[in-house]
Amino acid sequence: QSVLTQPPSVSGAPGQRVTISCTGSSSNIGAGYDVHWYQQFPGTAPKLLIYGNINRPSGVPDRFSGSNSGTSASLAITGLQAEDEADYYCQSYDNSLSGSRVFGGGTKLTVL
């Protein structure tokens, strides 16, 4: 059971907009800790997609955006492309667990 909760799967057609939620609690996202997002393709290492809630590393298309509110965060992908089909993970910090970075369980994005 992950500390951060994500939907197991989401899907969308090419060109559409999808969002992936990441729900936490008062000891992590709700406490004001930043949320970061990673993209992972099968058999490869995760890649940073969003850091500090809303920031994109260089090279990440502006089709990807992050937001958060209260005890939840969201990753939005607009103009969905076939190459976006991957697993997505949120990550934050939890102050109820010493030194603990925490991840969401991951969301599989399927492009229909």
Partner 1 sequence: EVQLLESGGGLVQPGGSQRLSCAASGFTFSNHVMSWVRQAPGKGLEWVSTISGSGGGTYYADSVKGRFTISRDNSKSTLSLHMNSLRADDTAVYYCAKEPSLDGSGTYYENNWFDPWGQGTLVTVSS
- Contacts to partner 1 by CB under 8 A: 2, 33-34, 36, 38, 40, 44-48, 51-52, 57, 89, 91, 93, 95, 97-106
**Burial of 76 (C-beta count, 10 Å sphere; 0-12/13-18/19+):** middle
Among residues 21, 28, 52, 51, which one has the least CA distance to residue 38? 51
Minimum distance from residue 69 beta carbon to partner 1 (Å): 17
Residues 6+ apart with CB under 8 A from 99: none
Count of other CB atoms within 10 angstroms of residue 13: 9
Minimum distance from residue 103 beta carbon to partner 1 (Å): 5
Minimum distance from residue 54 beta carbon to partner 1 (Å): 13
Decide whether 14 or 54 has the Cβ nearer to partner 1.
54
Decide whether 69 or 98 has the Cβ nearer to partner 1.
98
